[in-house]
Amino acid sequence: SQQGEEDPQALSIQEGENATMNCSYKTSINNLQWYRQNSGRGLVHLILIRSNEREKHSGRLRVTLDTSKKSSSLLITASRAADTASYFCATALNTGTASKLTFGTGTRLQVTL
Amino acid sequence: DAGITQSPRHKVTETGTPVTLRCHQTENHRYMYWYRQDPGHGLRLIHYSYGVKDTDKGEVSDGYSVSRSKTEDFLLTLESATSSQTSVYFCAIRAESNQPQHFGDGTRLSIL
């Protein structure tokens, strides 16, 4: 079963606007990661936030993590047409042999001119 | 971009035939992963490796086997392909704990 669920499933905004995507998960985690996927390509890592962190920034990206609510959000500020992609959250849990990621179903972001 | 190459990039085959997908990395990373991506399911872990000859099952391992005889190569085998295994398959690598995974560009596999 999926650990992370993104909301909304699809989002359409105009260039220059901010885009916010949310992720909820079910169990304890070591860290939470956000990835971007352009059509026909592999996933690209955007940002990793550890379970003891509450907020993290990287360029135009801002990620928050609320472990008490088991939720995270990704904010993309001043969006550009090149931000059009699918965005996935993934929760990481360290097992005895490796850290495994469990992905949500993603948010499709469309940024129009 | 991380040095990850998946081959083939596209394959069409028939039900019942064996299929092997290859993931090759030039980063000398310890961990390697195979996922499948299907509409409505996101990415699901099939198998992973935590070292040469060290592998373990993921969430959807039935019908798949893997092998890792050297650090740079991780093979995914469908012993007898079924139509339900039609999917896009992604390989990923990771250096150490609390590090992100880096993905290949995927193999689109169609089983008729």
Which helix (H) or strand (E) segment holds residue A107: the answer is: strand A107-112
Q: CB distance from A104 to chain B under 8 Å?
A: yes
Q: CB distance from B89 to chain A under 8 Å?
A: no
pLDDT < 50 positions in chain B: none
Q: How far apart are CA B21 and CA B48, in angstroms?
A: 14
Among residues A11, A41, A45, A32, the alpha carbon closest in space to that of A99 is found at A32
pLDDT of residue B41: 81
The reply to whether residue A48 touches residue B94, judged by beta carbons under 8 angstroms, is no
Q: How far apart are CA B65 and CA B55, in angstroms?
A: 10
Report chain A (113 residues): mean pLDDT per 10 consecutive residues: 76 97 93 94 95 97 97 98 96 81 94 95
Q: CB distance from B3 to chain A under 8 Å?
A: no
Please identify among residues 59-98 of chain A the ones whose CB lies closer than 8 Å to any CB of chain B.
88, 90, 92, 94, 97-98
pLDDT of residue A1: 44
